[in-house]
Amino acid sequence: MSGFEEVNYYFRKAARIMDLTAHVERMLVTPYREVKVDVSVTLDDGQLGTFIGYRVQHDNSRGPMKGGLRYHPTVDLDEALGLASLMTWKTAVANLPFGGAKGGITVDPATLSPHELERLTRKFVERIHDIIGPQTDIPAPDVNTNAQVMAWIMDEYSKYHGFSPAVVTGKPVDLFGSKGREEATGRGVVLALEEYLKDAGGGEIRGKTFAVQGFGNVGSWTCRFIDERGGRVVAVGDAKGAIKSPEGLDVSRLVAHAAKTGSVVGFAGADAISNDQLLAEAVDVLVPAALGGVITEANAKDVRAGIVLEAANAPTTPRADEVLTARGVTILPDIWVNAGGVTVSYFEWVQNVQRFSWEVDRVNAELARHVREAYATLARVVRERKVSFRTAAFIVAIGRVGRATVLRGV
Ligand code: NAD
């Protein structure tokens, strides 16, 4: 299945339970707009670098479309389609007044200098500035993009449309970014787990063991919040490899090591393992926090964790989802678990639109409230309909997006 088909598989599973008509179903899965642009730029050595950029806008029935920009060699139209649709369902689960979008550039940014990266980003904005905007489509960081990239986007967009901080979120705090946005996704991931554990009688994070794949923004902040609550992070991986320490890794030292060397690999006192071994670690909670499609039909049988906490987008394929569910593994799904990022992005947008700034305590308190309220709704649907958390999340999201679509008139 392609990424888009995978999301639509989950969508249809929920839609069947909801008795949606075929017409409404088709309308809800069909993207609003797909854009593919040439973003060729001159490289530092004078050569021409040719790159392709994408922006898929999936649905805007509940508000401006919202979703990240990814710079990675795997970026293509299908990946953007799948992730854009996932954003529609995610913003609806979190009950934010946004729709869904996603995009990016097919590039390995590690091969570019900072100046090349800036030129590439500005060229991309030149190509898409007329279809994004504070009331239409608001990009944000994703894999290999960060606050600096968002600052360039804001600056370039403002050249065409006047000063527009609300066109993009995840900006540096000095440039009207929100306090608390940097760590928001990881914070939301850990708050989501806490809500579930409280409700399911699963105790607390303290004393539980974790394996985390990905040590970028989401993975590293997730590890820090687990550590803060007394959880034991025993294995961590990134694109270069993985490491393990049964007594628990010293997370703050690991953060410093990764910042210095660019990877978790080589961390003193830890054993090297493969990313495949990481997924099969005997831990309480497995946290995929890197790319999508990593838990597959082939390796799902090896997963020994009792809970899969989906910090990454679409980390579990539909077949793997079935295998894990049949084995009694609880999957806490991406469209709820990692919504902390887009939730604080929403707060950032609100602050920008109001030309106002919130203190970090207010950001964190509002985030916690959103996570709690979303969980209460999901848990009720899980109990009433006797479905998985993922199907419940899709049921809630489809209901909200479907009602908005119908009320606005087709
Ligand atoms: P990032 O670029 O900061 O970090 C990505 C991490 O994944 C890095 O540690 C990288 O080394 C690792 N990685 C890449 N390829 C890998 C591979 N083949 N095997 C193992 N590790 C690999 O990106 P991020 O922002 O942390 O995003 C991670 C995931 O979380 C993505 O799925 C993204 O869509 C999702 N997400 C991000 C946010 C956000 O606010 N940044 C919000 C919601 C969801």
Determine if the pTM surpasses 0.85.
yes
User: What confidence tier does 134 reach under pLDDT thresholds 50, 70, 90?
Assistant: very high
pLDDT at 410 over 80: no
Distance (angstroms) between ligand 1 centre and the Cα of 275 equals: 14
Distance (angstroms) between ligand 1 centre and the Cα of 216 equals: 6
Q: Which residues are catalytic?
A: 102
Give me the DSSP letters along 201-270.
T---STT-EEEEE--SHHHHHHHHHHHHTT-EEEEEEETTEEEE-TT---HHHHHHHHHHHSSSTT-TT-
For ligand 1, say whether the CB of 192 is within 6 Å of any of its atoms: no
CA distance 184 to 345: 9
Write the residue with the smallest CA distance to atom 35 of ligand 1.
312
Q: Residue 66 pairs with which residues in a beta bridge?
A: 100, 138
What amino acid is encoded at 292 in this protein?
Answer: G
For ligand 1, say whether the CB of 310 is within 6 Å of any of its atoms: no
pLDDT at 21 over 90: no
CA angle 204, 205, 207 (to 5 degrees): 100
Write the residue with the smallest CA distance to atom 28 of ligand 1.
290
Rounded mean pLDDT of 41-62? 98
Q: Which residues, 6+ apart, have CB-to-CB distance to 46 below 8 Å?
A: none
DSSP code for 346: H
- Number of C-beta neighbours around residue 299 at 10 A: 15
The SS3 of residue 316 is strand
Write the residue with the smallest CA distance to atom 8 of ligand 1.
216
User: What confidence tier does 201 reach under pLDDT thresholds 50, 70, 90?
Assistant: confident
CA angle 57, 139, 132 (to 5 degrees): 60
Q: Which residues, 6+ apart, have CB-to-CB distance to 214 below 8 Å?
A: 237, 238, 288, 289, 290, 291, 311, 312
Q: Which residues, 6+ apart, have CB-to-CB distance to 152 below 8 Å?
A: 118, 121, 122, 125
Q: Which helix (H) or strand (E) holds 140?
A: strand 137-141
Distance (angstroms) between ligand 1 centre and the Cα of 218 equals: 6
What amino acid is encoded at 51 in this protein?
Answer: F
CA distance 111 to 116: 9
Cβ atoms of 331 and 325 within 8 Å: the answer is yes
For ligand 1, say whether the CB of 309 is within 6 Å of any of its atoms: no
- Residue 71 has a pLDDT of 98
- Residue 29 has a pLDDT of 95
User: What confidence tier does 393 reach under pLDDT thresholds 50, 70, 90?
Assistant: very high
Write the residue with the smallest CA distance to atom 29 of ligand 1.
312
For ligand 1, say whether the CB of 280 is within 6 Å of any of its atoms: no
Is the alpha carbon torsion for 109, 112, 114, 118 positive or negative? negative
Q: Residue 68 pairs with which residues in a beta bridge?
A: 140
CA angle 95, 287, 264 (to 5 degrees): 125
Write the residue with the smallest CA distance to atom 43 of ligand 1.
338
Distance (angstroms) between ligand 1 centre and the Cα of 220 equals: 10
For ligand 1, say whether the CB of 405 is within 6 Å of any of its atoms: no
Distance (angstroms) between ligand 1 centre and the Cα of 7 equals: 19
CA distance 256 to 241: 17
Percent of the chain with pLDDT over 90: 97
Cβ atoms of 100 and 85 within 8 Å: the answer is yes
pLDDT at 165 over 80: yes
- Residue 19 has a pLDDT of 87
Average confidence score pLDDT of the chain = 97
User: What confidence tier does 1 reach under pLDDT thresholds 50, 70, 90?
Assistant: confident
pLDDT at 366 over 80: yes
**Greatest C-alpha distance within the chain:** 63
For ligand 1, say whether the CB of 291 is within 6 Å of any of its atoms: yes
Rounded mean pLDDT of 393-404? 97
For ligand 1, say whether the CB of 237 is within 6 Å of any of its atoms: yes
pLDDT at 361 over 80: yes
